[in-house]
Amino acid sequence: MKTDISLEEAQTLLLELVQSVKECQVPLTSAVGRIVSQDIRTNINLPLFDKSPLDGYALKAKDTEDANSSNPVILEVIEEVPAGYMPKKQVTSGTAIKVMTGAPIPNGADVIIKFEDVKREENKVELYYPLRTGSNIIRVGEDVRQGEVIAKKGAVLNPPLVGLLAAIGVDAVSVFSKIKIAILSTGDELIDPSEELRSGKIYNSNLHCLGAYCSQLGAEPVSLGIVPDEEAAIVERINQGIELADLVITTGGVSVGDYDIVPTALKKIGADIIFWKIDMKPGSPIITAKYKNKLIIGLSGNPAAAFITFDLIVVPLIKRMMGIDKELPVKFSAILAENFNKPSEQRRFLRAKLQKNNRINYVELTGDQSNGVLKSMVACNALIDVPAGSGPLLAGQEVSAVMVGSGSELFI
Ligand code: AMP
Ligand code: MG
């Protein structure tokens, strides 16, 4: 068992132990948010044929060479083509075909002029200026070309991509299966928000915060409920989680206090402990183990610690398991917008908000940075990475940070 390892070592050790889950087919109607499991190529061109971008007349540009306002060119209108129908006739010199937006360009025509720019008299149109060959024609394959990869393995199916798949005639798509994540809350003090508050008790926020995060990532959270700080109960629920889910997360009971018995429970189960404790604040007492080929991650119970270690360590694992590219949080540098007066003996992550001003990244703290404080997590979309041995931080200095939460690259 390793101990006191760096965040980066922890991330690497765990990522090596997981792979993306199985694939399945889903109908396009329920594909949003899922992850593409195989490159998707289009079998057709988009658009499928040269078409008109507006209501107008299809004709030969050459016929308009001598047109001007006092000497208009007059063409005979020989057909009308609505969108959804093929022209039956061909445009020849001296003729025009009326076309609606989206209608195929008739053979023989090489330009479209819009309705508003001509004068129509019975079956004749008058044109007042010369036209350039090719204007107002949307070309076949202008959007996507037959054979082109339109979605790569690992891409998130966002609404426009769902639309693009529909446009190329795909109605079912191969995606990675949803992973199930079991979440167990340990602690004698915890009660569910649906229960009556009793003295000495607190509401269980971790289950709801982390469960919501799993859902937002497209995974399926499975609640293992609340267990008291009792080894037998923890052992039983973790075993249940291993049967039900692809990954098991626990919160609470991982420090070295008298009631911190998740590590003992994991040993009792016979799980292989990968590491216990990482060298950062908050959330240093994290414990991780492998059992029956699945991972169990025991996070600190402090809400902010649980959230931050979930962001930095569990989210990359979930992404890898779900087949999402670029698992690790994106790093960036930014200017600190305010002072942070405490020195940091240990490496520390601060809850912050990234804002851009004149293309410069600024990070401002989102409030109280204590381990148990929930409020400053709400606006947090970035974590400032403060190296061990840093003194107080000053407004205006450059800092390193990572993107986290729903503002992460996953959703960009
Ligand atoms: P622990 O990690 O068990 O030592 O818990 C650290 C702190 O987090 C304690 O103040 C707990 O009451 C609190 N805590 C533990 N689990 C939760 C939870 N699920 N929701 C909210 N607070 C919790
Ligand atoms: Mg506890």
The tens digit of pLDDT for each residue in 9-51 reads 999 999 999 988 899 999 999 999 999 999 999 999 999 999 9
The reply to whether ligand 1 has any atom less than 6 angstroms from the CB of 301 is yes
**Lowest-confidence range among 241-245, 260-264, 335-339?**
260-264
CATH of residue 218 = 3.40.980.10
CATH of residue 344 = 2.40.340.10
Q: Are residues 198 and 223 in the same domain?
A: yes
Q: Of 234, 233, 382, nearest to 298 (Cα)?
A: 234
- Decide if pLDDT at 411 tops 80: no
Position 241 in a domain = yes
Q: Are residues 186 and 270 in the same domain?
A: yes
Q: Are residues 208 and 309 in the same domain?
A: yes
- Domain-terminating residue out of 69, 92, 127: 127
The reply to whether ligand 1 has any atom less than 6 angstroms from the CB of 202 is yes
The string of DSSP letters for 347-390 reads -EEEEEEEEEETTEEEEEE-S---TT--HHHHT--EEEEEPTTB
Task: Please tell me the distance from the alpha carbon of residue 213 to that of residue 221, in angstroms, as a whole number.
Answer: 9
pLDDT for the residue 406: 55
149: three-class secondary structure by DSSP: strand
Q: Are residues 166 and 181 in the same domain?
A: no
- Decide if pLDDT at 1 tops 90: no
CA distances for 250 relative to 48, 209, 228, 306, 332, angstroms: 53, 13, 12, 9, 30
Q: Are residues 235 and 312 in the same domain?
A: yes
Ligand nearest to the CA of 252: 1
Ligand nearest to the CA of 370: 1
pLDDT for the residue 289: 98
314 pLDDT tier (thresholds 50, 70, 90): very high
- Decide if pLDDT at 202 tops 60: yes
The Å distance, Cα 101 to ligand 1 centre, comes to 62
The Å distance, Cα 370 to ligand 1 centre, comes to 13
The Å distance, Cα 294 to ligand 2 centre, comes to 24
> What is the overall mean pLDDT for the chain?
95
**Lowest-confidence range among 20-24, 161-165, 236-240?**
20-24
Nearest CA to ligand 1 atom 8: 302
Q: Are residues 29 and 167 in the same domain?
A: yes
pTM: 0.85
Position 33 in a domain = yes
Position 138 in a domain = no
Q: Report the percentage of the chain scoring pLDDT > 90.
A: 92
Question: Which of 202, 308, 374 for a ligand 1 pocket mutation test, highest count of atoms within 8 Å of Cβ?
Answer: 202
In the chain, the number of structural domains is 4
Q: How far is CA 293 from the centre of its chain?
A: 27
Q: Are residues 17 and 38 in the same domain?
A: no
- Decide if pLDDT at 303 tops 70: yes
- Domain-terminating residue out of 289, 322, 355: 322
CATH of residue 158 = 3.90.105.10
The structure tokens listed for 400 are: 């390193």
Q: Are residues 31 and 65 in the same domain?
A: no
Terminal alpha carbon distance of the chain: 38
Q: Are residues 86 and 221 in the same domain?
A: no
408 pLDDT tier (thresholds 50, 70, 90): very low
The structure tokens listed for 325 are: 């590219």
Mean pLDDT of 97-125: 97
Ligand nearest to the CA of 300: 1
The reply to whether ligand 1 has any atom less than 6 angstroms from the CB of 282 is no
Whether residue 47 is preceded by a cis peptide bond, meaning omega within 30 degrees of 0, is: yes
Q: How far is CA 304 from the centre of its chain?
A: 23
pLDDT for the residue 259: 79
Nearest CA to ligand 1 atom 12: 189
Mean pLDDT of 255-276: 92
Position 270 in a domain = yes
Task: Please tell me the distance from the alpha carbon of residue 389 to that of residue 342, in angstroms, as a whole number.
Answer: 11
pLDDT for the residue 298: 98
Q: Which residue has the tokens 């404080």?
A: 373
Range of the domain at 122: 56-127
Q: Are residues 316 and 241 in the same domain?
A: yes
Ligand nearest to the CA of 305: 1
Q: Are residues 314 and 223 in the same domain?
A: yes
The Å distance, Cα 251 to ligand 1 centre, comes to 7
The reply to whether ligand 1 has any atom less than 6 angstroms from the CB of 187 is yes
CATH of residue 106 = 2.170.190.11
Question: Which of 206, 286, 308, 371 for a ligand 1 pocket mutation test, highest count of atoms within 8 Å of Cβ?
Answer: 206
- Decide if pLDDT at 164 tops 60: yes
Nearest 10 degrees: Cα torsion 251, 255, 259, 261: 70
Position 137 in a domain = no
Q: Are residues 250 and 274 in the same domain?
A: yes
